[in-house]
Amino acid sequence: MLNAIKISEYDEPEMHGRDFLQLSDFETEEILYLLDEARELKKLQKQGKPHPFLSGKVLGMIFEKSSTRTRVSFEVGMLQLGGHAIFLSSKDIQLGRGESISDTAKVLSRYVDCMMIRTFSHKSVEELAHHATVPVINGLTDLQHPTQVLADLLTILEHKGNLTGLKLCYVGDGNNNMAHSLMEGAVKVGMHISIASPEGYSPNQAITDHVKGMAKQTGSSVLITHNPIEAIQNADVVVTDVWTSMGQEDETDKRLAVFESFQVNKELCEYAKKDYIFLHCLPAHRGEEVTEEIIDGPHSVVFDEAENRLHAQKAILKALLS
Ligand code: CP
Ligand code: NVA
């Protein structure tokens, strides 16, 4: 049953011209609207019906870190919407040689209709958005990965038929971009969330406080623990992410030891609900944060999740630009 959320229940929110930096900037109704739009766009694409809502529009995509899914899904998404995307590696543009973010923002705003950036510091994205006169989309920072989590919510909705009241458990690095965006996204749509991570790797305190405040309004609950078994009890959705994120490669050996008992494996998943689904934003390290048995097993929906990046991002682009 996929009709738990109907667009007709909401007034169409005004998102034109806004930035998409983190999910906490958006109202629950706006997130539900984007999910509904994503499902409509997915339907059109599957039926082979053209949907050139962004004819003639151009997206500039700045990448300071590697990417497979984000780059390809944004590029294909713009093409399917009738527009065009330009890949701008920081190795090749002047930003990588020290040109300022503000000058880059002002110049690119004269050419493109929207910018997407994947970078290290969240402050860089905020600075780009501050100086740009076109919408800026966060394609991942050290702090947040909001476009991924919109795709995750779409995947959960498709597989579970609803979002509100479900329990999502994240086991792993609680202080990374995925954990933070999952906390914001889950709580916005009324899901319960538990995060299990080793001591010293709990989520950012300011985000935790903010999310706990939001949870009071949406009827969600937030559990932050160091105990994976406590966190995963009766979970509908189990999520993990790499133990070493991009930019942390120097800490790989230390992290392998610290996170050893935070692996998502068959023994741990025995405590989740029988019909749980498993999500991972990918790329994954089989044998580290998750066993092959789980990520390639019957509960895993990771490739639906990867596909949904395309549909969720088309909904974002359409809302900000059309
Ligand atoms: N999940 C994700 O953002 O993948 P990429 O790093 O390949 O873009
Ligand atoms: N936490 C991971 C996500 C990759 C999509 C990283 O930042 O490397």
Question: For the chain (length 322 residues), average pLDDT per consecutive 10?
Answer: 44 91 98 98 98 98 98 98 97 96 98 98 98 98 98 98 98 98 98 98 98 97 98 98 98 98 98 98 98 98 99 98 94
Q: Classify residue 112 by its DSSP letter.
A: -
Q: Report how many domains make up the chain.
A: 2
Q: Which ligand is nearest to the CA of 174?
A: 2
* 151 and 187 inside one domain: yes
Predicted pLDDT at 93: 97
Rounded to the nearest angstrom, the gap between the alpha carbon of residue 61 and the centroid of all alpha carbons in its chain is 17
Coil, strand, or helix at residue 192? strand
Residue with tokens 């476009």: 147
Residue 9's pLDDT is: 57
Range of the domain at 135: 7-144+309-321
Q: For the domain that residue 175 is a member of, what is the CATH number?
A: 3.40.50.1370
181 and 243 belong to one structural domain: yes
Ranges of beta strands (E only) in 124-212 are: 136-138, 167-171, 192-196
Decide if 176 contacts 198 (C-beta within 8 A): no
Same domain, 161 and 293: yes
pLDDT at 231: 98
| pLDDT confidence of residue 10 | 59
Angle at 254 between CA 248 and CA 259, to 5 degrees: 95
- Global pTM reads 0.96
pLDDT attached to residue 1: 31
Contacts of 192 (CB under 8 A, 6+ apart): 165, 166, 167, 168, 186, 220, 221, 222, 223
Residue 2 resides in a domain:
no
- Residues noted as catalytic: 118, 145, 148, 241, 281, 309
Determine phi and psi for 103, rounding to 5 degrees. Answer: -65, -40
Question: Ligand 2 center to residue 1 CA distance, Å?
Answer: 32
Name the residue at shortest CA distance from atom 7 of ligand 2.
Answer: 245
Which atom of ligand 1 sits closest to the CA of residue 66? 6
Pocket of ligand 1 (CB under 6 A): 67-70, 140, 148, 281-282
* DSSP H/E element including 109: helix 101-109
- Report CA(71)–ligand 1 centroid distance (Å): 8
Q: Based on the domain organization, do 70 and 171 belong to the same domain? A: no
> How far is ligand 2, taken at its centre, from the CA of residue 49, in Å?
33
Tokens of 303: 């490739």
Q: Token match 């997407």: residue? A: 116
Q: Can you tell me the distance from the alpha carbon of 67 to that of 65, in angstroms, rounded to the nearest whole number? A: 7
Ligand 1 centre distance from Cα of residue 139 (Å)? 9
| 217 Cβ contact partners less than 8 Å away, ≥ 6 residues apart | none
Closest approach atom of ligand 2 to CA 70: 5
Q: For residue 312, count other CB atoms closer than 10 A to its CB.
A: 30
